[in-house]
């Protein structure tokens, strides 16, 4: 019953979502947002890194999934997002977790059934799939969706392996 930490990186708000998967059953554990505001970039990255290290120590996930960087219109924004993503990846790596990456399209496809889904649709489906009493915050919902996407990918690989196919060992990296 792996615990999965999903992360939606951002230079001002980084969402996180933690779920436990047991067979086909998925249980919500925790979610939230790491808010760093307008601090200098080095301080934001330190807060993201330390916050994720603390979450990893508290919840002890066996799996870590993060959204891949996308090409933004603003190169400065893309750089800042990449740095925040790097801080999150280093937090996972220093904690001994493999890093699994998924595109926004893959996440939306896995959770909503459409790679072009809107954020409100992702929030709604996360609420439904995890039987939450209310919609999670947008960034937390995205992080939970990333964790759910990883769970779905793992289940798909297990089904293929169970049908005589061979699942790849080692790092599972989705492009």
**Identified catalytic residue from 8, 63, 101, 142:** 8
Residue 37, judged by CB atoms within 10 A of its CB (0-12, 13-18, 19+), counts as exposed
**Identified catalytic residue from 63, 67, 101, 142:** 67
Q: Is residue 59 a contact partner of residue 30, using CB atoms and an 8 Å limit? A: yes
Active site annotation includes 67 = yes
Q: In b/e form, how buried is each residue of 66-88, taking b as 16+ CB within 10 angstroms? A: bbbbeeeeeeeeeebbebbbebb
8 is in an annotated binding site: yes
**Identified catalytic residue from 63, 101, 139, 142:** 139
Active site annotation includes 62 = no
Residue 168, both tokens: 């790849």
67 is in an annotated binding site: yes
Q: At what angle do helices 138-162 and 104-111 cross, to 10 degrees?
A: 80
Q: State the DSSP string of 110-159.
A: HHTS-TT--HHHHHHHHHHHTT-SSPPPHHHHHHHHHHHHHHHHHHHHHH
Active site annotation includes 63 = no
- The residues carrying an active-site annotation are 8, 67, 139
Binding residues for Mg(2+): 8, 67, 139
Binding residues: 8, 67, 139
């Amino acid at each position: 019953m792996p615990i999965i930490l999903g992360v939606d990186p951002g230079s001002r708000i980084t969402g996180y979502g933690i779920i436990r998967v047991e067979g086909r059953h998925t249980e919500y554990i925790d979610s939230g947002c790491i808010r760093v505001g307008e601090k200098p970039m080095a301080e934001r990255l330190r807060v993201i890194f330390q916050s994720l290290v603390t979450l990893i120590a508290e919840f002890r996930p066996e799996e870590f999934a993060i959204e891949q960087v996308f090409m933004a219109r603003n190169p400065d924004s893309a750089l800042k997002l990449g740095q925040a993503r790097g801080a999150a990846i280093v937090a996972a790596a220093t904690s001994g977790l493999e890093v699994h990456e998924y595109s926004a399209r893959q996440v939306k496809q896995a959770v909503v059934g459409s790679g072009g889904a809107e954020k409100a649709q992702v929030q709604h489906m996360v609420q439904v799939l995890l039987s939450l009493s209310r919609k999670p915050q947008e960034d937390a919902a995205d992080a939970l969706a990333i964790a759910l996407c990883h769970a779905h990918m793992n289940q798909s690989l297990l089904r293929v392996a169970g049908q005589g196919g061979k699942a790849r060992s080692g790092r599972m990296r989705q492009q």
